[in-house]
Each structure stands twice: as structure tokens, then as C-alpha cells.
Amino acid sequence: MVRCAILIVHWNSWEHLHHCLESLAKQSYKDFRVFVADNASKQPPPDGIFSTLPDIFFVKNELNYGFAKANNLLLEHAKEYELTVFLNPDSFPEPDWFEQLISAVKENPGYSFFASRLLVAKHPDILDGDGDNFHITGYAWRFGHGKPVDNSRICREVFSPCAASAMYRTKAIIDVGGFDEDFFCYLEDVDLGFRLRLIGNKCLLVPSARVRHVGSATSSERNPTFQLYHGHRNLVWTYVKNMPGLLFWTLMPFHLSLNLFSIVWFVLRGNGCAILNAKCDAIKGIPSMWRKRRDIQAARVVSAKEIWRIMNKQFLPWISSTHFVSRNDK
């Protein structure tokens, strides 16, 4: 049986999806099946787009369910597979990408999810990200974004993968209930990674698994306030749901400071409506997130010390980041 399902959620980017599928057809190791969900794109799929690979599962959703729910629905069709990959339609894997991930899975049984090395599609000598960082303030961003690519092939632990290209042991995803569909999109991968860590899972970066990533291809480039709103709303929800009790209260002044800083930053840049709407809706959603928090924290098996160990503690990391928005876009 095919042991891996590759899930792709698409919206209004058929050209990118075609390129993505062509990249998958060129993989040196092909023990996978591709599942594609279209989130109510305006145009139908072009003729022949699914002829590049055999046995592609395709479903067209009547509504745009967002990244989180659409992936969860696809996972229902693929949960019998041992491994699950989330791949964006604007992510173009290099020919040995899947083979490198499978090797890492076999060689590292103590890890449950795996991050690819993302390269800027038009400038593959520039890093788009080596997995996700999560800061003690609750801010999240892609590690190394905008820096020159090094030649290191040594795997290392990271907080979580960017779901533009990430592999998971399927059982681990099912154990935590998949993506939080209230997030719609942005930071849903960080939230998933946090919940996986709380029940004892770890994430490994596989630098040799390289993917060229366009970024912003289906949302933020066309509507930057969309990314700003969802990213900053979900930033609050991720903290509220997942931060362990002692750290939750100890770090709360820093989290509040981050949110105040965000509001001032974007108001001064003419994005006051988007950031204020994001924070107001984040506050309105706290009762619901707090109910989820009870279940998440009740299932937690790792100590607050372990979460503290893996979080980034750099001083004002967003100041040195190439763009302080929600995080680098998927």
C-alpha cells in the first residue's frame, strides 16, 4: 500500500498547482498518492492538469473553507496512510525532496513531524524558511527567512514546520484533532505544532528536503489586510490555547506588550482598521479558545520547562525580521 498522502489545498492558482504537480511527477521516490481540494476557485481546472500523476484524488468544495478545514476534510480521505504531507500549490519540491523526507522519517523514529527547507522560488539562493520559530511573546516566524542558503544538510530540531511543505506521522495529527478550523488560515500550522509538542511530539528540520516556495500566491499578495487580520487574530488564539499554565501567566505581560506594539506599528502604517479588527475579534474568541485550552492542557504530558526550552528567547526578534506582519506568508 502507498504509505504517504500528499494533501494540497488550492484556491485560484491553477498555474502554480500545475507546476507543483509536475514537480511531484519528477520525484525520485514515488511511494505517495496526491489529494487535491479546490476551495471554490472562480475558474474550473484546466484540461489535463491532473494527467501528470496517476490516481490523483480531486474534490471541489462548494465554498472556500480555508486552509485548515479543507485540509481536515482531505485528511478524512487519507487517514489510513502512515504519513501525511501538507503541500501548498505554490511549493515546488526538488526531485529528491520526498526521498529525503522518507529517509529522515526512517532514521529518526523519535520525531513525529518534519520540516522542509523552503527556498524563495525566484531566488533559490535565498532562504524562505527553515521551519517555524515560536517566541516567548507568542510571535511566530520562519527561521532564517531572507538569509543566504547555506550548504548544511544536518538535521536539527525546530519548534514546528511551515505547512507550505511539511510531513507528519498521520496518527499524531489525528491524536490532536487536525487543524483548528476556527483559524481559517495563517498560524494554523504553528498551533498544530504546539499541540503536538504538548503531547510529547518533536519536529525535525530536514535541510536536504528542499522546496521552492512562491509565497502569498493565493491570499496576502492580492489582499494584504487578509493576512494581517488572520495572522494577528490567530497569534492571540495560539497563545491562549497552548501556552502551559506557569508560562501562560509569567509571559502574559510580554504577550500583551507584543499586541500593543503590533497595534501601534500598523496604525502608524495606515493599517489601523485591519489590526484593530484582528485584536477585537481575537478577544471575542477567547471564551471559545479557553474551552479548547482546558482539553489541550488536560492532555499535556510535557513540562513547561520543555516548552520553554524549545521557544525562541531572542530580544525583539521581529525588529530583525524582514517583515513584521503576521509571520511570513504561506
Element spanning 211, H or E: strand 203-213
Query: pLDDT band at 330, cuts 50/70/90?
Result: low
Cell 497552548 sits on residue: 242
User: What average pLDDT does the segment 141-167 reach?
Assistant: 93
Whether the pLDDT of residue 321 is over 60: the answer is no
Per-residue pLDDT, averaged over 127-133, amounts to: 94
> pLDDT tens-digit profile of 230-275?
999 999 999 999 999 999 999 999 999 999 999 999 999 999 999 9
Count the neighbouring beta carbons within 10 Å of the beta carbon of residue 110: 7
Per the DSSP assignment, residues forming a β-bridge with 114 are 167, 204
What is the pLDDT, as a whole number, of residue 217? 43
Q: Compute the distance between CA of residue 141 and CA of residue 132 in angstroms, rounded to an integer.
A: 6
Which of 45-54, 160-169, 222-231, 312-321 comes out lowest in average pLDDT?
312-321
Mean pLDDT of 219-235: 79
Cα dihedral 234, 240, 243, 249 sign: positive
* Section 212-241 average pLDDT: 81
Indicate the average pLDDT of the chain.
91
pLDDT score recorded for residue 261:
92
Residue 322 predicted with pLDDT over 90: no
Average pLDDT (26-31) is: 94
CA distance 318 to 330: 18
Mean pLDDT of 144-157: 91
| 244 touches 148 (CB < 8 A) | no
Q: Give the residue from 211, 148, 223, 166 showing the smallest Cα distance to 16.
A: 211
At position 312, the amino acid (one-letter code) is N
Is the pLDDT at 89 greater than 70? The verdict is yes
Question: DSSP secondary-structure letter at 45?
Answer: P
Q: Give the C-alpha separation, 140 to 53, whole Å.
A: 35
Please name which of 197, 139, 127 lies closest in space to residue 168, comparing C-alpha atoms.
Answer: 197
pLDDT band at 315 (very low <50, low <70, confident <90, very high): confident
The answer to whether residues 23 and 46 touch, using CB atoms and an 8 Å cutoff, is no
Place of cell 490516481: 55
Using the 8-state DSSP alphabet, how is residue 218 labeled? T
Q: What is the pLDDT of residue 220?
A: 44
Range 202-206 average pLDDT:
98
CA 144 to chain centre: 16
The percent of residues in the chain predicted with pLDDT above 70, rounded, is 92
How does 256-286 read in b/e, with b if 16+ C-beta sit within 10 Å? eebbebbbeebeeeebeebbeebbeebeebe
Q: pLDDT tier at 101 (50, 70, 90 boundaries)?
A: very high
pLDDT (0 to 100) of residue 151: 84
Answer for the pair 70, 218: CB distance below 8 angstroms, yes or no. Answer: no
Mean pLDDT over 55-81 rounds to 95
Rounded to whole angstroms, the Cα distance separating 115 from 68 reads 18
Q: What is the pLDDT of residue 314?
A: 87
Length of the chain as a residue count: 330
What is the pLDDT at residue 328?
41
CA pair distance 204, 101, nearest whole angstrom: 10
What value does the mean pLDDT take over residues 21-29? 96
CB 212 within 8 A of CB 92: yes
List the grid coordinates of 34: 496526491
The predicted pLDDT at position 152 comes to 85
pTM for the whole structure: 0.93
